Structure 1
Amino acid sequence: MPLPLLLSIFLLTIPQANPEASTPAPEVVAPESETDVTVDHTKLIAELQAKAEKGDAKAAFDLASFYHEEKNEKFIEWTKKAAELGNPDAENIYAFMLSGGIGFPKNEAEGFNYYLRAAKKGQPDAQASVGDEYLLGKLVQKDEKEALRWYQLAADQNQATAINNIGSFYLNGQGGLKKDEQKAMEYFVRAAFLDSAMAQNTVAINYGTGQGVEKNMPEAFAWMWIAASGDDPNAQENILHLAKEITYEQFLQAQKRIQKIIALQKEGKQEPPICPRPSVNDDQAGQKLAEEFQSQLSKAQKGDIQAQYQVAQAYALGKGVKQNFQEAFPWCQKAAESGLAEAQFSLAQTYRIGDDFVQPNPPEAVRWYKKAAEQKNIESLYALGIIYDSGDGVEKDEAKSLAYYREAADLGHAQAQHNLATYYFSRADKEPSSRELMFKYYTLAAKQMHARSMMALGVSYFVMETSPDKVEGLAWMMAAVQCFAYKKDLVDKFKDQESPEDVAKARERATQIISQIMKQK
C-alpha cells in the first residue's frame, strides 16, 4: 500500500543507497587560460589540438573543455578522443554520456567499461558510479561488498554521494557491515557538509526523529533549510512540515546554526554529529514492536476498527512485522468498510494511485473519498477539489471543485486555501470581491506557514493597486525566505527596487510575522 497511510513527515522509510541519484552529471572545468583575456585563444587551441593529435590525453581534454558551455560537436569529439587516450576525467564524462545516450547512441555496457577505466585510475566520481553498478547488479553480478569497496575508495577522496551511500550501508547493515545507526549518522553528516542534498535531508530527518542521535529540532530545521536553499525539491517539501513542528525559540536557534554550518562549509571544515544517541538494543526494540503488532492484530481480528487500521499501517511500514503491502490492503479495506474516515481516505489514495497489487481505479477512488468527505475528512475534501478541478476520473466541474476546496479551506487546509486564493487572484483585476477573497485565503494559508502563500501574499501587496503596501509585501516574502529558503532570488529582485529604509522596515516586520505565526501554533 502506498504511504498515504502515513501523513506525518517523519514517518519515512529507511534511507537507502540510491544509485540512480548517486553520481551527478560530471562537472567540466575549462582551462584557466580560457577566461584570461590576455591569452590568444586561437593560438592556444591550435597548440592543444596539435598536442592532442600526437596523443596527449590532457591536451585533448583541455581542448574539449573549451567547448563545454556549448556542448557542441567539438566538445563531443574531443571528449571522446581524450577518453580514448586515457584521460580519467574525460573517461568519466564519456562514460556518463554513453550511459545516458547523450551525444552518442546509448550504450550502458561500454559506459560502464569507461567508468571502470577511470575508476581504476582513481577518478572519484567514476569510483562511485562503479559502486552503483555493483549495488544494482544490472551490468555485473550484484555484489554489495564490492560496491562498498568502490564507495570507500571514492569516499577517501571526499566524494559526497559515495559517503552518503556508505552511511546507508551502515544504517541497513549492507555490504558485510554491522548495522550501526551512529556510524551511519557520522557518514551522513560528513556528506551533508560536502553539500549532498540527499545527505542533508537524511541528517535533518534523523535529528527530527532521534535516529542515531539525540532528537534536536533546531539542528533538524537548519539542515533541511540548507538543503532547501539548494533547490532540492524533497527538502522544499519537507521543510513546510518541519516548520510546523518547531517552536519560535527553536527557530531562532536554527537560524544561528544555519549561519555556523554555512561558515564551516566555506572554510572546508566539518563537525561531528551533535549528541550521539546512547546505544539501543535493536533486538529488544524489535521484540517490543513485534509484541505491539501482535496485540493490535488480536484486537483487529475481533473487529476493533482502529486496530485494523493500525495493523494496515504496520504492514505498510514493516513496523513489528515484515513489510507486506498485499497484507496491508485488506486490513485497510476492513477499517474503511466499517466507517473509519482515515482508512477510507487511505483506500481512496490507493485506488487513485495504484500499486503492485491494486490497479488504479479513479471512480472507486472518488467513491471512497466521498465517504470520508461526508465525515469531514479534510484530506479527502481537498483531494476531491483536485479531482474535479482536473477531471481525473470524473467530469471536470469547476463549481464542485471550488465547493470542496472551500470546505477543506474552512476546516483549515492550507493548500486548499492557497488554491482558492490563486483562483480568486486570476479574477482580482475585474472583481473587487475576488480581490478581497484572494487576500483572505492567501493570508489564512500564509499564517499556517504555507511557503507559496507567504510569497504570493507578498507579491499581491506589490501588484494590487488597492493594496500597494510594499513594506508589508516585502516582509511576507522575506519571511518565506527566512523560514523556507523559498524563492530567494525573486525576493532579492524586489528588495533591489526598494529603498534601504523600506527594506529595513520589511526585515523588522518579517521577524515580527515569523514570531507571531510560530507562537500561535
Structure 2
Amino acid sequence: MNLSISARLMAFSLALMLVFSGTPARAASYNDGVAAYEAGDYAGALAIFSALAEEGHTASLYSLGILYDRGQGVEEDDTQAVIYFMRAALFGHAAAMSDIGVKYNDGEGVEQDYSVARDWFEMAAKQGYATAQFNLGIYYDNGIGVEPDLQQAMSWYRKAAEQGHVEAQYNLAVLYEGGRGIASDWTQAAAWYRRAAEQGYASAQFELAALYSSGTGVTQDDAEAARWFTLAAEQGHSAAQFNLGILYYNGQGVEQNVEQAVAWYRKAAESGNANAQFNLGIMYYLAKGVDADRPEAIRLLQLSARQNNDLAQQALDRIGESW
C-alpha cells in the first residue's frame, strides 16, 4: 500500500493567502517561520510557529505537527504531531485531516485503525484535497477499512488525477488497463499514463513506452517507445533499461548500436533485472558486442537463474554449469 503523505510546508500558497487576507503583520511572522524552516533553522521555526499557534493560527498549528512528526527542532513525537494536526483539523485544515489519516493508517501516535483513517481521508477529500483523494482511492482499490469498490476507487483517483496528482494519474491508468471489474479502455489508459509520464513519473513513462512498442491504445511507434523508455531508463527504471537495450540491439526506433545495448543491459543487470542478466550473459558467452568472457557470462547467467529465469537455467544446464 503506497499512501501519499502530505506533511510539508506550503510556503508560497500560505503566504499569498495571508497577505491577501489583510493581515500583513501575521503574514510576515508566519513567512518568517517558513523562511527559518527552509534555511534549516528548525528551532527558530518552532519558536515562531509556537507563538502563532497560541493565538490559534491554523497554518502554524499544522506546521508544528510537521516539526514534531519529522523531529525537526524538537524531539520526534508522533503523539504530539497528531495533537497539532487535530487542532489544525478542527479549523478545517484539509492537509492536517489527511495527515491524521496517514497516522491512523500507520499506527503512529495513535492506535492503528483503517476505518478511522478512511474517515479522515474522506473529510479532507471532500474539501478537494488531492492527496487525501488519492489515499481514499487506495483504500477503495484495496479494500482497506472499506469493502473493495473499484468504481469508488476510480472516482477518487480521477478527482486527484484531474488536479495533477501524478500517482493518481498512474493508478487510474492501471485501472483502465486492467479491466478489474471495469471494462478495459486502452485509449484512456494511454492518456492517463501520458499525463503522469509528462510529469516525469518513471513507471508511467515505461508503461507508455510499452504501449507505443505494441501499438496498444496508441499508434505503434518504435521511436516514441524508445523516447519514453529512455526517459524512464535515465531515472533508473530497470525494466525500461532492459527494453531500451533490446531496441538498440535490434535497431528499433533508434539507430542500431550494440555498444549502447550492452550499456543499458548492464545498467539493468546491475539493478537485478533477471532478463538483462540473461541477455548480457549470453552476449559475453557468444562474444556478441563484447569480448568473450566465460566467467562473466556464467556469473550473469547464474544471477538470472537464481531469480527463476527459465532460459538462464536451461543455458547453464546445456553448458554444464550449476546455478
User: TM range, normalised to the smaller chain?
Assistant: 0.5 to 0.7
In structure 2, the partner of 1:453 is: 204
What is the CA distance between 1:371 and its match in structure 2? 1.0
- Counting aligned pairs with the same residue, the percent is 26
Quick one: distance in 2 between partners of 1:304 and 1:385? 31
State whether structure 2 residue 170 is matched by structure 1 residue 415. no
Work out which of the residue numbers 38, 51, 59 in structure 2 matches 1:306: 59
Quick one: distance in 2 between partners of 1:503 and 1:438? 30
Work out which of the residue numbers 377, 380, 383 in structure 1 matches 2:132: 380
Q: Cα deviation per residue 1:330-380 (whole Å; 9 max; x = unaligned)?
A: 11111112110110110010011112x311111111111111111211110
State whether structure 2 residue 239 is matched by structure 1 residue 489. no
Work out which of the residue numbers 455, 458, 462 in structure 1 matches 2:213: 462
Work out which of the residue numbers 78, 89, 98 in structure 2 matches 1:336: 89
Work out which of the residue numbers 290, 298, 311 in structure 1 matches 2:43: 290
In structure 2, the partner of 1:319 is: 72
Cα contact 2:176–2:185 (8 A) shared by 1? yes
Quick one: distance in 1 between partners of 2:82 and 2:245? 49
In structure 2, the partner of 1:195 is: none
Quick one: distance in 1 between partners of 2:72 and 2:252? 56
State whether structure 2 residue 141 is matched by structure 1 residue 389. yes
- SS, match of residue 4 in structure 1: coil
In structure 2, the partner of 1:367 is: 119
What is the CA distance between 1:501 and its match in structure 2? 5.2
Q: Cα distance 1:327–1:461, how it changes in 2: closer, same or farther (>3 A)?
A: same
Quick one: distance in 2 between partners of 1:329 and 1:409? 27
Alignment map for 1:22-61 (pairs within 5 Å): none
Cα contact 1:455–1:476 (8 A) shared by 2? yes
Task: Considering Cα pairs closer than 8 Å and 6+ residues apart, tell me whether 1 or 2 has the greater RCO.
Answer: 1
Tell me whether 329-338 or 480-489 shows the greater mean CA deviation.
480-489
> Any gaps of 5 or more consecutive residues in structure 1?
9-284, 508-521
What is the CA distance between 1:289 and its match in structure 2? 3.8
In structure 1, the partner of 2:193 is: 442
Quick one: distance in 1 between partners of 2:238 and 2:215? 22
- SS, match of residue 111 in structure 2: coil
Aligned residue identity for 1:370: E
- SS, match of residue 385 in structure 1: helix
Cα contact 2:5–2:99 (8 A) shared by 1? yes
Quick one: distance in 2 between partners of 1:5 and 1:500? 40
What is the CA distance between 1:499 and its match in structure 2? 4.6
Q: Cα deviation per residue 1:216-240 (whole Å; 9 max; x = unaligned)?
A: xxxxxxxxxxxxxxxxxxxxxxxxx
> Any gaps of 5 or more consecutive residues in structure 2?
10-38, 261-323
- CA RMSD of the aligned region, Å? 2.9
What is the CA distance between 1:385 and its match in structure 2? 0.7
Q: Cα distance 1:314–1:472, how it changes in 2: closer, same or farther (>3 A)?
A: same
Quick one: distance in 2 between partners of 1:455 and 1:298? 48
Aligned length: 224
Aligned residue identity for 1:445: A
List, as ranges, runs of 4+ consecutive aligned residues in structure 1 with deviation greater than 4 Å: 499-504
Q: Cα deviation per residue 1:201-256 (whole Å; 9 max; x = unaligned)?
A: xxxxxxxxxxxxxxxxxxxxxxxxxxxxxxxxxxxxxxxxxxxxxxxxxxxxxxxx
- SS, match of residue 185 in structure 2: helix
Aligned residue identity for 2:81: A
Q: Cα distance 1:350–1:493, how it changes in 2: closer, same or farther (>3 A)?
A: same
Q: Cα distance 1:342–1:459, how it changes in 2: closer, same or farther (>3 A)?
A: same
Quick one: distance in 1 between partners of 2:246 and 2:169? 27
Cα contact 2:222–2:252 (8 A) shared by 1? no
Q: Cα deviation per residue 1:124-155 (whole Å; 9 max; x = unaligned)?
A: xxxxxxxxxxxxxxxxxxxxxxxxxxxxxxxx
Cα contact 2:6–2:131 (8 A) shared by 1? no
Alignment map for 1:172-191 (pairs within 5 Å): none
In structure 1, the partner of 2:107 is: 354
Quick one: distance in 2 between partners of 1:306 and 1:328? 14
What is the CA distance between 1:436 and its match in structure 2? 1.6
Cα contact 1:313–1:328 (8 A) shared by 2? yes
Q: Cα deviation per residue 1:409-464 (whole Å; 9 max; x = unaligned)?
A: 1111111111121222235xx97x81221111111010000101101101101223
Aligned residue identity for 2:54: Q
Q: Cα distance 1:330–1:498, how it changes in 2: closer, same or farther (>3 A)?
A: same
Q: Cα distance 1:300–1:451, how it changes in 2: closer, same or farther (>3 A)?
A: same
State whether structure 2 residue 7 is matched by structure 1 residue 6. yes
Cα contact 1:471–1:503 (8 A) shared by 2? no
Quick one: distance in 1 between partners of 2:254 and 2:148? 49
What is the CA distance between 1:491 and its match in structure 2? 2.4
What is the CA distance between 1:5 and its match in structure 2? 5.6
Q: Which has the larger radius of gyration?
A: 1
Cα contact 1:369–1:383 (8 A) shared by 2? yes
Cα contact 2:5–2:131 (8 A) shared by 1? no
Tell me whether 299-308 or 340-349 shows the greater mean CA deviation.
299-308
Cα contact 2:4–2:134 (8 A) shared by 1? no
What is the CA distance between 1:497 and its match in structure 2? 3.2
Aligned residue identity for 1:451: A
Q: Cα deviation per residue 1:57-100 (whole Å; 9 max; x = unaligned)?
A: xxxxxxxxxxxxxxxxxxxxxxxxxxxxxxxxxxxxxxxxxxxx
- SS, match of residue 365 in structure 1: helix
